[in-house]
Each structure stands twice: as structure tokens, then as C-alpha cells.
Amino acid sequence: MQTFSPGALACVMHKPARLSGEHMAQTAADILIEILQEWGVDTIFGLPGDGINGIMEALRKKRDAIRFVQVRHEEAAAFMACGYAKFTGRLGVCLATSGPGGIHLLNGLYDAKLDGQPVLAITGMPYHDLIGTFTQQDVELDKLFMDVAKYSVRVMGPTHVENVAHLACRTALLYRGVAHISFPVDLQEREIKGERSKRNIAGHNSELQAHGARLPNDADLAQAADVLNQGKKIVILAGRGALGAGAELERAAEMLGAPIVKPLLGKGSVPDDSPYTTGCIGLLGTRPSQEALESCDTLLMVGTSFPYLEFLPKPGQARGVQIELDPMRIGLRYPVEIGLIGDSRRTLQALLPMLQRHDDRSFLETAQKGMTSWWKMMDEHAAVTEMPMKPQALAAAVNRHLHDDAIVVSDSGTIATWWARYMRVKRGQMYSLSGTLASMANGLPYAIAAQIAHPGRQVVAFVGDGGFSMLMAEFANCVRARLPIKVVIVKNNALGMIKWEQMVFLGNPEYGCELQPIDFAAYARACGGSAFSVEDPRKLDDVIGQAFASDGPAIIEATVDPFEPPLPPKISVDQATRFAESLAKGQPHRGKIALTVLADKVRELV
């Protein structure tokens, strides 16, 4: 499976070449774009506006070197920048005008912040001498972005640009988060005439990117090896920070006889046909993952901040070792004994020779047996051919048509459950969604960014009707740019996940969750794309096969059973009680829902 390791890539990142204060460019905006080029930026996602016309002109002049991807909503531009960073390891850049344009970026920028992606946001501001005077679009975006950005600065004059642009790129890349430059509109088109302040002396800084070894110290490594060597039932929890450490994870699993459990953003860390993994964990995870964590005596956390504490071993149950790049996050979720501060891949490489092979394989074998039954159960759920179509059948069919190097994205909703469980990761594939922000609507923008970054690869978005409709206008951009992405819309005419949460977690009948149906196939055609529809599970392979083989962008509108619940791997008594309460309180369609849930349970038992 192809994976991207932020730790590894950071070491080969582009080193900017320019070291002097001299420029060929003429305007302050030209300088900004030139510096972005030096940092390897070749794509900017955004939407023009009168607060950034100077920057747009600088981009127009550089259109052969930097691709400007126009969006219909700035939120999508920020999601695209985040997706671009996720699927390339490079800096994602988005651009929006002053006031409302900048404000629209925020949700996608928080996605980047919470999933630790390097993104630079560039925004406009009013004329520099009118800021703070209630002039039009007078929003002080540098202040507004203070929370989302690790670095947020307002350009104060043309000679300020060079200093702040380098710092912004460096901060986003090396601190793996959002940086923001807000640029008053009149300053963008100002010519540089060498009017530096007397302390801003040219040539006094370099744009070098220095990198540490990202390795823990020897004593901590030895102690960690000691804890792991003493463990009898060890689980490896491998998250986003372990993408790119797949081979090392499998070697550690082999040495320790330990199953690898994958938090959702680590779905691509090892392939699902690896004999060591029990797949994902949590509400959308697998039962063997949950059981392994419930019964382990040692936990090795690798690059994860998995937030659902209730699925982790109880404090005191297991000894803990954590490999984590960010020292602040050691011991954040589990009271570990040893924190190894370093890059997962390099740290595992250092740790592996210190590990003894565990001859007792029974813990791993139990997990493997559990997975055999789990996959059998998943296959049974997916094989249901009755109407209305089960989302499981759809997800399994999509999985069958994925290429070995596919990039598969999803969105927040019940779709995330089907995506997590039925897309069986192969070596070479990449997977992501909005993880810790858990936002809706990222799916289509992520897919667009992935396809732009990897034009030759199959890109599939597996999204809900709610999430897709939030930013659906972006599909028109796929048509214009001839991006052959395939968007599978799981149509249940509902904000499905919330409906189930209201019933199962709160014991209430659903409220406010129905969606007015949209004819997504007609919409695809209206945009100039291809449209496919499927509601009969027996036609799934035909329709998806045809759709995925089609040339340009396509929407596959798949109508599914709205009463199919995303069941957790194990249902607690509390959940069952609340679910029953919600039905008793007058949940609409309660008869059908009860029958559907019952049928699922029966399928599990027989």
C-alpha cells in the first residue's frame, strides 16, 4: 500500500533557493507568488474577489508555473488544500478575498489544523489605511484566524512580504498546521522600490529548512523494548502518524505476536489483507479490534491521538509505550510508561532490533480467528440482494472495483462506517476523510485535490447525500478541468448518522434529519458530467463497473435503505435500551426500523 510519511517526507522537502533580497518581480504580490514557487507550490485553490485582485494578477502572470484551481465556495478551497497536503505531503495553499471569502475558508482550515496538515491560507484585506474604519468587508482576518493558524500575519508593506511569506511556509510545513497571510488590497499591487526599514537589512536570513533526526534517546528506547518484551498480549495501535511505517509495523507485529489495530486516519497504515491487522476501532471499527484492546496487557501506540477513550484499555489494565512526533501529545489518551518522541518509521526502525520474538502466538491467533469470522459476517451483510439496497452491498461493490492504487475518500456520516468496514485497504491505496474535525462536505473537495495531485490514479469519493449537497457545486469544476473522479452518493434522503445518534445514544425519536430528495443524476448531467443510478443490488457490479470505466467525472447515485443502522461492533445494554425508548416515544417508521435491525442481528447469529 502506498503511504505517505510526513516524517520521512519532511526530510526531502524542497529547499528554497533564493538567499538575497533582490527580486525580478515588480509588485508585492509578485514577490509572494515567487516565494511560494520557491517553496515548491504549484497549485493554489481559491476564488477571486476584489480584495485579492493584485494577487490574482500575479498568479495570471505565473499561470504556466502555478495552477490556479477555481472553486465555487472558499470552504472547498480550504478542504482541497488540506486534501492536497494529505495526499502529497506538500504544502496545500488556498486563496480567498477579504471579509466573506476569508470567513468561508475557516471550516476547511480547521480540518487541516485538527488533522495536522500543512496549509497556507492567503486572504485579502481592505485598503491598508481603511482597516478598522467600518469600510466594506472590513474583517480583520489576521485576528479571526489566530486560533486556527499557528502563524497569522497581516502584511504591513511591500518589503514585509518576503519575511512573512517564508515564515508562513516554513511554519505550516514544519509545525504541520495552518499558516495565514492577510494582504491589504492596495499593498498587493505596490511596486517594490527598496524602501526597507533600517532594521530590515537584506540578506540577513536564509530560507534553509533544518531537520532533526526525529529519534528518541537510547535510554527511552531500551526501556520501551523492555516493556514490550515483557508483554504477553500486546496490541499495536497505528494511526495517521504511522502512515509510511507499514513495513516496520508489520515487522513489529511479527516480533511481538501483536495485532495491529487502526484508528480511522491510520486506515491506510497497513493493508487489510495483512495477517496482523484487525482493521479499524471504535463505533465504526471491528469486533476483533475491540476485543484485542479489551484484553491486552500491553499497548504500543504509534502516531495516534485516537479520541475515543472508552475503546482503549482501562488505565492500569495495560502497560503503555507511545511513539509520537509531538512531545505535547505523549500520555494524552493513555497513561503510558514510556514516551518515544520521534517519527514512527525511524523510531520503529531503531526499536525493532531490540525486540525479542514472542513465541506464544495465541493472542495474535485469537485476533486472526476473530477477523475470519468478522469478514465472513461483513460478506454476509454485503451479499443481501433484497430491495431496498443495503449500503453495505453498495460499499462492498465499490470496493470490488477499486484499483490497486486508488485514492478513496469519504465524508462524515453513516457512510464513514461503510467506508471504514467495506473498503479493504490494498497496498498502494490511500484513504482519508475529515478525521478529528469530522466535518461533512470534505469528500468532494478532497477527491478533486487528490485527482489534481495524482492525475493518473483512480479517485473515488464515497459520500452521503447530506454532505455532498453542501458543496455540490464543485462537481462543475471537475467537468471543466476534466477530472475523472467518481462520486458515489449514498442516497438515503436523510442525515442518517444523526438520526441513529438521536435514537441510539439519546433514546429520542429522530428530529430534523429528513432531507428533501435531490435528483443527483440529473444534477450530474446538468453540470456536463456523466450520471449513473442504481437501486437494485443485483445491478451494482454492472453499474459501478461502467461508471468507473467511464472517461470523465461521474456521479453514481445509489439509493439505499434509509433504515439500515450503522451498528457498533458490540451493542451495549445502554444503547439497546435507548434505542427501544426512541421507538416507544414515537420514532417514525419504527416498525420498519425494528425489523431491519432485527434482520441484521439474525444475520449475525445464523
Ligand X SMILES: Cc1ncc(C[n+]2csc(CCOP(=O)(O)OP(=O)(O)O)c2C)c(N)n1
Q: How far is the CB of 50 from Mg ion (least distance, A)?
A: 37
Is 298 or 432 the residue whose CB approaches ligand FAD more closely?
432
With CB under 5 to 8 Å by kind, the binding choice for 415 among Mg ion, ligand X, ligand FAD, none is: ligand X
Give the one entry of ligand X, ligand FAD, Mg ion, none that residue 484 binds, where binding means its C-beta sits below a cut-off of 5 to 8 angstroms depending on kind.
none
Please give the residue ranges that form the binding site for Mg ion (CB under 5 A).
464-466, 492, 494, 496
Beta carbon nearer to Mg ion, 332 or 515: 515
The H-assigned helical ranges of 310-405 are 344-351, 362-382, 391-400
Q: Is 588 helix (H, G, I), strand (E, B) or coil?
A: coil
Buried b / exposed e along 358-382 (16+ C-beta atoms within 10 A): beeeebbebbbebbeebbebbeebb
- Between 283 and 504, whose beta carbon lies closer to ligand FAD? 283
Q: Which of 45, 87, 306, 548 binds ligand FAD (CB under 6 A)?
A: 306
- Report the site for ligand FAD in 41-80 (rule: CB under 6 A): none
Q: Is 324 in the site for ligand FAD (CB under 6 A)?
A: yes
Is residue 303 a contact residue for ligand FAD (CB under 6 A)?
A: yes
Closer residue to ligand FAD in complex, CB, 164/408: 408
Q: Which partner in Mg ion, ligand FAD, ligand X, none is near 124 (CB below 5 to 8 A by kind)?
A: none
In angstroms, what is the C-alpha Rg of the chain? Answer: 25
**Quick one: which of 274, 412, 432, 492 contacts ligand FAD (CB under 6 A)?**
412
Binds ligand FAD by CB under 6 A, chosen from 167, 438, 515, 599: 438
Q: How far is the CB of 417 from ligand X (least distance, A)?
A: 8
Q: How far apart are CA 411 and CA 51, in angstroms?
A: 32
Q: Is residue 285 a contact point for ligand FAD (CB under 6 A)?
A: yes
Nearest in space to 358 (alpha carbons), one of 229, 250, 248, 226: 229
SS3 content of the chain, % helix, strand, coil (to 5): 40, 15, 40
SS3 23: coil
239 binds ligand FAD (CB under 6 A): yes
Q: Are 330 and 324 in contact (CB under 8 A)?
A: yes
Q: Quick one: 594 exposed, middle or buried, by C-beta within 10 A (0-12, 13-18, 19+)?
A: middle
The residue type of 451 is Q
290 binds, among ligand X, Mg ion, ligand FAD, none (CB under 5 to 8 A by kind): none
Contact status: 283 vs ligand FAD (CB under 6 A): yes
The secondary structure element, H or E, covering residue 489 is strand 486-491
What is the C-alpha separation between 303 and 322, in angstroms, rounded?
8
Q: Are 41 and 16 in contact (CB under 8 A)?
A: no
Q: Does 443 bind ligand FAD (CB under 6 A)?
A: no
Residue from 30, 162, 272, 343 touching ligand FAD (CB under 6 A): that is: 343
Nearer to ligand FAD, 225 or 265 (CB): 265
- C-alpha 13/C-alpha 447 separation (Å) is 24
Summarize as ranges the residues that interact with ligand X (CB under 6 A). Answer: 411-415, 438-441, 464-467, 490, 492, 494-498
Cβ at position 498, least distance to ligand X in Å: 5
**Which of 108, 231, 246, 282: binder of ligand FAD (CB under 6 A)?**
282
The three cell numbers of residue 103 are 470567513
Determine the interface stretch with ligand FAD among 95-103, 105-113, 184-192, 283-291 (rule: CB under 6 A).
283-291
- Pick one of Mg ion, ligand FAD, ligand X, none as the site partner of residue 158 (Cβ within 5 to 8 A by kind): none
Place of cell 497536503: 85
Q: Stretches 320-328, 352-360, 364-372, 451-459: which one binds ligand FAD (CB under 6 A)? A: 320-328
**CA 93/CA 75 separation, integer angstroms:** 13
* Nearest approach, Cβ of residue 7 and ligand FAD (Å): 3
- The label of the residue with cell 480550504 reads 78
- 98 touches ligand FAD (CB under 6 A): no
DSSP 3-state assignment of 248?
A: helix
C-alpha cell belonging to residue 601: 442481528
- For cell 529547499, name the residue: 15
Note whether 336 binds ligand FAD by CB under 6 A.
Answer: no
Q: Phi, psi at residue 32, to the nearest 5°? A: -55, -50
C-alpha cell, 144: 479571526
Partner in contact with 282, chosen from ligand X, ligand FAD, Mg ion, none, beta carbon below 5 to 8 Å by kind: ligand FAD
Q: Give the whole-angstrom CA distance, residue 295 versus residue 282.
A: 15
Shortest gap between Cβ of 592 and ligand X (angstroms)? 16
Whether the bond between 388 and the residue before it is cis, its omega within 30 degrees of 0, is: yes
State yes or no: residue 265 binds ligand FAD (CB under 6 A). Answer: yes
281 near ligand FAD, judged by CB under 6 A:
yes
Alpha carbons within 13 A on the beta-carbon side of 231: 32
CB closer to ligand X out of 119 and 495: 495
User: Do 110 and 145 contact (CB within 8 A), yes or no?
Assistant: no
- By beta-carbon proximity to Mg ion, the closer residue of 258 and 415 is 415
Identify what 436 binds: ligand X, Mg ion, ligand FAD, none; CB under 5 to 8 Å per kind: ligand FAD
Q: How far is CA 474 from CA 75, 447, 455, 487, in A?
A: 11, 11, 17, 12
Kind of pairing between the strands at 67-70 and 43-46 = parallel
Cβ distance to ligand FAD smaller for residue 241 or 562? 241
Nearer to ligand FAD, 420 or 478 (CB): 420
SS3 5: coil
Q: Does 116 help bind ligand FAD (rule: CB under 6 A)?
A: yes
7 or 158: whose CB is closer to ligand FAD?
7
Binding part of the chain for ligand FAD, among 71-79, 89-97, 394-402, 432-440 by CB under 6 A, reads 432-440
- CB neighbour class for 212 (10 Å; exposed up to 12, middle 13-18, buried from 19): exposed
In the list 23, 128, 251, 329, the residue contacting ligand FAD (rule: CB under 6 A) is 329
Residue 305 binding target from Mg ion, ligand FAD, ligand X, none, CB below 5 to 8 Å by type: ligand FAD
Q: How far is the CB of 321 from ligand FAD (least distance, A)?
A: 13
Tell me the C-alpha to C-alpha distance, in Å, between residue 228 and each of 314, 327, 360: 18, 21, 14
How far, CA to CA in Å, does 80 sit from each of 59, 210, 445, 474, 531? 18, 28, 5, 11, 23
Residue nearer to ligand X on the CB measure, 228 or 488: 488
Give residues in contact with ligand FAD (CB under 6 A). Answer: 5-7, 115-116, 239-241, 263-266, 280-285, 303-307, 323-326, 329, 343-344, 412, 416, 433-436, 438
